Every structure is written in structure tokens, then in C-alpha cells.
Amino acid sequence: MQHTNRHTPPNQGNAETPDLRHLDGPDVGDQNHDWLNDAVRLEVYQSSSPRLRRLVNRLFDEITPLITVSSKPRQKEALKTVLVNLYHARQLDKPVRYSRDKNHYTVDRRYGRLFFKYDRLIPIIDALEQLGFIEQRTGFFIQDDNEGKQTRMWGTGRLWTLFREYRLFQTGFFKPARRLDDIIVLHDEAKEAVGYRETPQTRKMRDDLERYNRFVARHQISLRLNGETIVDDKFLVEDLYQSIEHGSVWVRSVQLDHNNNRWPVKPTPIPDFVYHLKQFSQNPKYIINNILEKYQQQPSTITHTKRRIALLRTQLRRFWSDEHRFEKYLQKRLAEIRSITWEERQELLAEPYALRDIGVEALEIVLDREDMYRVFNRRSWKLGGRAYGALHQDFVRRGMRKGILINGETTVEIDYSALHPRMLYHLDGIECPGDPYSMAQGAELRNVYKAVALISVNARNEETASYAIRNELEKRGIPIQRRENAVKALINRFREAHKPIERHFFSDVGVRLQNIDSHIMNAILVRLMEQGVLGLSVYDSVIVQQRHEDLLRTVMIEEYRRVMGFEPRF
């Protein structure tokens, strides 16, 4: 196959890529870790920024001669979506990935569910490229190998010059749209959303999750970290700052060490501004944007004056705060990291340090996106079904979860111990004789056999499991001999320790177990909600306010026993 190179991304060499645009498919199986690989997915964002609207109007006038104008408002909305995605990706120093496969734009596939249309979106992207506002690297898909890469796009200097002209490098002019897909999602084998027929079961699952999402929205979920918390620049600069920028999290309070040269004491310029240093009780970006939007819509001079004062007070209150100074530090740090090469950046982003090392003694972050959706796999309601999407699941790292607060109260997390291996015993009507991860070679190798167990349960065959186990152990920093039979020896010892359930290993049983545990988890969250208690699911564990620990433990025992017929372990 002849490979061609259409464009060279920033700071990269001439990586080759096949120009098979019409065969573009899902990202799978690529081992080349270059700048193009780590791309952000095309998403839908909301923005009421008048500056963005003016930029969209200008660019639309430029691309109009190159496209067929069928619905100007919808095409402008598509253009706005592309621009915001490009901006968001630029802040992360990544390209945007999207599909050029027309099948992805039908109503029951991902892009159709996001209300994009192929004939509306693709001509706009190509027109932007033709005018020099973006560059692209076309994707490919090799059917026989089930391997490919979606098309990548990124903005050029010409586009960012326009952003500066329209003063769109200020943060907070967009935010993630509420999920437009159904909150009960059915995936096909390629992990793309497909349509399905409504049943009493799907309606019940949707009703439970809609009620839960409304319930969680009435609570404030935050994360409190102290100076000893270990972080890295990937968390602070990529995860935290980017989430702050588009409004899904915000810094409620920060305690800076003013003896650290990063944070010298700065006197408040005017004593009257002390009032504005009070903590916010809701996301300051939303406050400012809402006031600004109402201010623009009301022509009354008196109303203008009142709202201008309210907006000024809100902005000053944030501007003279340590929270604002911390956010500006993150912004500056992002710019510094983006100035070095991609390879150096990856090493720097992963280097751990304590918050105290940068002069931060305490930090509280509010998580403003906690609604969830459930995903079922391979066109079956009996495979998968776990709930995803909440920030406490993917934004908060495992070691930080003890700092989660619900309405300002400390929390406790109760975790089903060795859930899936124990479920296999219980499905076969057998009581598990001990800790499944320690039964092979004792507690000292528990972490090793935990990786072996989870991969063995989820793998389709032993060969792929061996490769995955070695990679997982290396990723965790667990030493493993390089000889070929080292992993096989681990697998054989694990099999020998679990003879009664050996037939389940390498049988792809994991997605069926996820289906069972997802229904158990849904029942737990609903029961807690009906008693006025918020539970936060982390797949096989639940977080509640500490005063509800006994209730949670009781509910988790009862729901597991109801489905599996055995007692769980914690």
C-alpha cells in the first residue's frame, strides 16, 4: 500500500499515513505514540459569546463560495462547533479526531445522535482547510486487519490570528453541552451507538437514571486536596485547568503558602474590594456568563447599569482572590509546557510532586458534571451496562477519592472485594474460599494476581491475555521477567488456584459480569436515593457521606445477596 503525507503537524517529523479518506473508521490498534495519536474526539459545546458569533459570521462569509448553503443557521452552528473543538484541542496541544465515514452520520450512529450531518459538516471542514484555517491528516481503515485511524484536524496560525483579533483567547466562552445522546446507550461491535426498540426494561432503566441525575444535581460534589497530595502536571495543567476553562469544574478555595516565591502577598488595591473576596457558592464562570448574557439582552439603561455593577462586582471578587491567582498559574504553566517538544512534554507531564512543592497547602475543587449514562455492548442488553460520565469517576484519581466531599461533608467509599472473580464462584453456586487475588502465591503478590485475574476474566483468548498482562504489570511498575514463559507461569498458577472456575477464564465473560454488577449498582443507588441519600458509583464501589456508612453497607449486602444468592466481601 502506498502511503502519502499531506501535512506535517506541529513539532513533528514526516510521519506517513495512507490517504484512504473514504475508508476512515474507528481508532483501533495503533502503537505509534506520536502527536497525531493522542487526539480529542469531536464533541458538542455550548456558547453564547457574541465575539464567537461575530467570528463565525465572518468565516461563514468566506466559506460560502466553497459550499452549498442549504440551512444557514444550522451550518453556522456546525461551523461554531468545529471552531470550539479546534480551540479546546489547541489548549491541550492535540488535534481533533473525527470520522469521514458517511455511515457515522446516520441517525442511529454517534454523529447522527449529536445532530451533525455528513453533507453539512464535511464541506465546512474542507472549506476551512482550502482557505488555510486548518490542516488535516486523513485517516484510514484496513478492513482485513480491523486497524485504522480517524482523520485529524488542527488550527493554523491564520485561524489563531483571527481568534486573537476577536479576543477569543479569554477562558470561559464555551462549556460542554449536556449529553445529546440517550442516557441509555446501545453500542455495536465497533463501540458506536446504534438505535434500538423501546421496551419496558429500557424505559425503566432510563427513568431510574433520569431521576438519579436530577437528584445528584441538587448536591454539591467537591474534591479537597492538601499540601501532601501527590499530583503531576498532567492532572493540574491538562485535566484540572482544561476542565476549569470550559466550566465543568471550578476552584472553590485555595490556601497558598505566601512564603513560597510563587505566591508573594499582594495587598488588596482598594479596601472596599475586601467584600468581593468571599467564596463562591456556584461556578463563577456561569455567574459571569449569565449576567453578561442578560445584560446584552436588556436595552434598558437602568437595567444595564445595575447589571454592569453586578458583573463588575462578580469579576472583581474573583480577580483579587487566590483562586484566580492559582488559575492564572495553571494557565502560565500550560503555556510553558506547550513550548517544549512533544517527547519532553510527555516526560514532564508524568513527573509526580506534592502540591506543597508549588506552594499550595490546600485546594478544594467543585465537580460540576456528575450526571451519568449507561452503556450496553455488542447490540445486547445482557452485555455491559455500567454507568459512566461523572467527573468523580474519570477526573478524580483513585488515590484522591478519599478527599471527595458531598455538600461539604467527608465521605467513605465501600468497595466490593475482588468482585468479578468472586461472582464467578457464586454464579456456579460455590462459595469462594478466600481472597481470589491472594490464593495463588499469597498476599505479597496480590497486586500481580489482581492484574492476572482481571485480564483473564475479560480476555477472549490466552494469547492476547498474556500480552495484556505483561503490559499492565510494566505500566504499574511491577517487575516481570522478560522470558516468554514468565507470564504463562503466572497464568498457570492462577488457574491452579481457581480450578472450580477455570472454564470461565479467557472466555470473554467480563462483559456479562459487568451487566450483572451494573444492575446491582443501579438498585443500590436507587434505594439510597429513595431514602434521601446520595451515592456516587465508581463501578464496583460506592461513595456516601460518612454518616451513612452503615446504611450503604446494609444496602450493598442485600442487593448483592438478592442477585447472587451469596454474601459479598468488602
Confidence of residue 2 (pLDDT cuts 50, 70, 90): very low
Residue spans of alpha helices (H) in 342-443: 342-349, 391-394, 419-427
Specify which of 31-40, 261-270, 328-337, 429-438 reaches the highest per-range mean pLDDT.
429-438
Q: What is the DSSP letter of 173?
A: S
Residue spans per domain, the chain: 21-179, 193-217+370-419+511-564, 229-236+255-359
Check residue 24 and give its pLDDT: 42
Share of the chain above pLDDT 70, in %: 79
Check residue 328 and give its pLDDT: 86
Q: Is pLDDT of 430 > 80?
A: yes
Over the stretch 389-412, which tens digit does the pLDDT of each residue have?
A: 999 999 999 999 999 999 999 999
Check residue 7 and give its pLDDT: 43
At 141, give phi and psi (nearest 5°). Answer: -150, 125
Q: Is pLDDT of 311 > 70?
A: no
User: Beta 360-367 vs 249-256: how paired, if at all?
Assistant: antiparallel
Q: How far is CA 7 from the centre of its chain?
A: 29
Of residues 271 and 216, more confidence is placed in 216
Q: Is pLDDT of 19 > 90?
A: no
Check residue 295 and give its pLDDT: 55
Over the stretch 67-102, which tens digit does the pLDDT of each residue have?
A: 999 889 889 999 999 999 999 888 778 899 988 888
Among 400, 389, 396, smallest CA distance to 176 is for: 389
Instruction: Encode burial over 500-538: b for 16+ CB neighbours within 10 A, e otherwise.
Output: ebeebbbeebbbbbbbbbbebbbbbbbbbbeeebbbbbb
Which cell numbers in the block locate residue 101? 465515514
Q: Which of 20-34, 177-191, 452-466 has the lowest mean pLDDT?
A: 20-34
CA distance linking residue 424 with residue 145, whole number of Å: 33
Over the stretch 548-559, which tens digit does the pLDDT of each residue have?
A: 999 999 999 999
Over the stretch 378-387, which tens digit does the pLDDT of each residue have?
A: 999 999 999 9
Check residue 242 and give its pLDDT: 83
Q: Is pLDDT of 537 > 80?
A: yes
Over the stretch 124-168, which tens digit does the pLDDT of each residue have?
A: 999 999 999 999 998 876 555 455 678 999 999 999 999 999 888
User: Beta 373-376 vs 184-187: how paired, if at all?
Assistant: parallel
Among 524, 525, 516, smallest CA distance to 558 is for: 524
CA distance linking residue 121 with residue 74, whole number of Å: 10
Q: Is pLDDT of 302 > 50?
A: no
User: Beta 45-46 vs 175-176: how paired, if at all?
Assistant: antiparallel
Check residue 358 and give its pLDDT: 95
Integer angstrom CA distances of residue 418 from 434, 440, 558: 10, 14, 18
Amino acid letter for position 477: G
Specify which of 44-53, 111-120, 434-443 reaches the highest per-range mean pLDDT.
434-443
User: Are the C-beta atoms of residues 20 and 139 closer than 8 Å to each other?
Assistant: yes
Check residue 171 and give its pLDDT: 57
Confidence of residue 18 (pLDDT cuts 50, 70, 90): very low
Dihedral of alpha carbons 402, 406, 409, 414, sign: negative
Mean model confidence pLDDT for the chain? 83
Greatest pairwise CA separation for the chain in angstroms? 81
Over the stretch 487-510, which tens digit does the pLDDT of each residue have?
A: 888 999 999 999 999 999 999 999
The angle formed by the CA atoms of residues 105, 106 and 111, to the nearest 5 degrees, is: 40
User: Are the C-beta atoms of residues 379 and 186 closer than 8 Å to each other?
Assistant: yes
Over the stretch 203-249, which tens digit does the pLDDT of each residue have?
A: 999 999 999 999 999 999 999 999 999 999 999 998 999 888 777 89
